[in-house]
Amino acid sequence: MADRILIFYGSYRSDRQGIRLAQWLVRAFAARGAAAELVDAKALDMPMLDRMYKEYAPGEAPPALADLAERIKAADAFVFVAGEYNWGVQPGLKNLTDHFLEEWFWRPAAIASYSAGRFAGARAGLAWHGILSEMGMVVVSSSLAVGGIGHAFDAAGEPSGDGGGALVRAFPRFADDLAWWTDAARTQRTRQAPPY
C-alpha cells in the first residue's frame, strides 16, 4: 500500500519561492512510490479562522473545509513546507492547520523549512515542531532546510546550486525517517484504537 502523504504549503505571496520546494517534494515522494499530494493554502483560499471544522454542525461546514478534513483523516503522514517570516511561521500555513485538530491525531509529520537567507528557515522549523506536536502529530527527527530558496531550483523546478544539492543529499534520510514512522503508526492503528 502506498503511503498517502499530504504536503502542505502556505505562502500567499504573489512571487512564491517555496512552491518549487513543495512541488519537488510531491515528485520526490511519488518517485519513491508514495501517493503524495500538494495542499496549497492559497489555492484553497482558506478564510481566516473563525470556526474550526469540528465547530460546525454536521453538513454545515464550507465544502472546501469538509473536503480537506476528509483528506487529512485519510492521510498516513504529513509534510509541512515551512517558510520563515521574521523568525516565525507563515500565517497562511498556520491558519490552515488551525482549522483542524483531531483530524491530525496519531500520524507522523515532517518539516521542510526554507528561507531566502542562510539559516534556511530553521527558526520556523523549530517553531513548527512544537505546534505540530501540540496538534497531536509525531514529528520525525529528520528535517530538510533549504537556504537561498530563490537560487535552489532552476527554471524547470529542479534542484540546483548549493541549496538544491544539499536538498537532494538530505532527502533520502528525511523520506526514510517519515516512511518508518508512517508504517509504525499505520500498523499500530490496526492493532489498537487510539486512546482518545
Three-class secondary structure of residue 85 per DSSP: strand
Enter the C-alpha cell of residue 29.
Answer: 515522494
CB-facing half-sphere around the CA of 124: CA atoms within 13 A = 30
Give the residue-averaged pLDDT of 38-47. Answer: 93
In a domain, 196, yes or no: no
Cα–Cα distance, 96 to 153 (Å, whole number) = 26
| The CA-based dihedral angle spanning residues 33, 164, 170, 96, taken in that order and rounded to the nearest 10 degrees | -70
In a domain, 138, yes or no: yes
In a domain, 71, yes or no: yes
pLDDT in tens, 49-78: 999 999 999 999 999 999 999 999 999 999
Number of domains in the chain: 1
15, burial (CB in 10 Å: exposed 0-12, middle 13-18, buried 19+)? exposed
Cα–Cα distance, 180 to 172 (Å, whole number) = 12
Enter the C-alpha cell of residue 101.
Answer: 485538530
In a domain, 23, yes or no: yes
In a domain, 146, yes or no: yes
CA-nearest of 13, 1, 40 to 149 is 13
pLDDT band of 108, cuts 50, 70, 90: very high
pLDDT given at position 1 = 79
Query: Which domain, by its residues, includes 11?
Result: 4-191
pLDDT above 90 for 102: yes
Cα–Cα distance, 79 to 8 (Å, whole number) = 6
Three-class secondary structure of residue 152 per DSSP: coil
pLDDT above 90 for 35: yes
CA-nearest of 148, 151, 149, 144 to 167 is 144
CATH number at residue 17: 3.40.50.360
pLDDT in tens, 125-149: 999 999 999 999 999 999 999 999 9
5: left (phi over 0), alpha (psi -120 to 50) or beta: beta
